[in-house]
A = this chain, B = another copy of it.
Amino acid sequence: MIIDGKEIAKKMYDELKNEVSKFKSKPTLWAILVWNNSSSLRYIEQKKKWAEYIGINFKLEKFDEKISELELYNKIKSFNENPEISWYIVQLPLPKHINSQKIINNIHPKKDVDWFHPNNQGKVLLWDESGFVPCTPAWILEIFKHEKIDLEWKVVCVIWRSNIVWKPIISLLINAWATVLACNSKTKNLAKFTTQAEIIIVAAWSPWLLKVNMLKVWAIIIDVWFTVIDWKIHGDADTRLINLVWSRVTPVPGWVWALTVACLMKNTIKAYKIQNK
């Protein structure tokens, strides 16, 4: 069975739209775009489209790709100090001559609805009750909620390569009392761990890494990212034999974006409610 991420995102947007319609004023989300690559542009378009659908003002400031680190830093500082800007995002990635982590570290934690600042990441680690979650781990939790999957007592295998996302997701899984098997590219005999798991979250950038014989029957696969081979898009799970052993799989791609954007909107609305209560 396919888990329909776009449907989950649509449901979230409609719930948020309904909430915003009761607000006394319209929330505004600001965005900074530096690198105009096609992927970033599409992301920003999606954010604009859905923000407006929900009823959020979306204000974009575009900069030249050649902006210096110092100029961008000063921009961030002016955003932090501007009382009219309650929340903003910096669209990643940034051009290579700019140190992204340094920029992220300078976003004011209270204005950081992407939840990227170390202070906010630390709160995820510390089981903070404020309920904010960085957008990628957040959408994985939305899937579990939508599919009515209770993580308590469950064994979850996480196969990950990147750093930004996997530790928050591991933290969140542990908070929910799951037993977590955290694997990486240096794990010996990966199948030994995947076959023990009721849920597998994979973002290894390795097409067809997960084969049918590496899965427990009824396993739920969250396939996070994709690779392009011969103009075709492939996830990390070999979905060709899906019906043989497992019940539910999230297919790549497209809807990943939809859900990430939906979670950003959710964070913005939450921040608005805290500010206005």
Contact = CB atoms under 8 A, between A and B. Distances in A.
Interface stretch (A59-67, A186-194, A200-208, A233-241): A186-194
A101 B187 CA distance: 36
A111 interface: no
Identical subunits present: 2
Contacts of A179: 181-184, 186-188, 193
Contacts of A227: none
A227 to B, nearest CB: 22
Interface string A185-227: 0111000110010000000000000000000000000000000
Contacts of A118: 118-120, 122-123, 125-126, 128
Interface string A135-173: 000000000000000001101000000011011101100
Contacts of A124: 125
A17 interface: no
A125 to B, nearest CB: 5
Nearest to A175: B163
Nearest to A174: B182
A247 to B, nearest CB: 20
A117 interface: yes
Contact of A167 (B101, B155, B166, B174): B174
A125 B167 contact: yes
Category for how many chain A residues contact B: 35 or more
A167 B121 CA distance: 12
A188 B156 CA distance: 12
A180 interface: yes
A125 B193 contact: no
Nearest to A183: B179
Given A101-B126, A118-B122, A126-B163, A177 B182 contact: no
Contacts of A163: 126-127
B122 A153 contact: no
A120 B188 CA distance: 32
A218 to B, nearest CB: 16
Nearest to A170: B170
Interface of A: 101, 117-128, 152-153, 155, 163-164, 166-168, 170-171, 174, 177, 179-184, 186-188, 192-193, 196
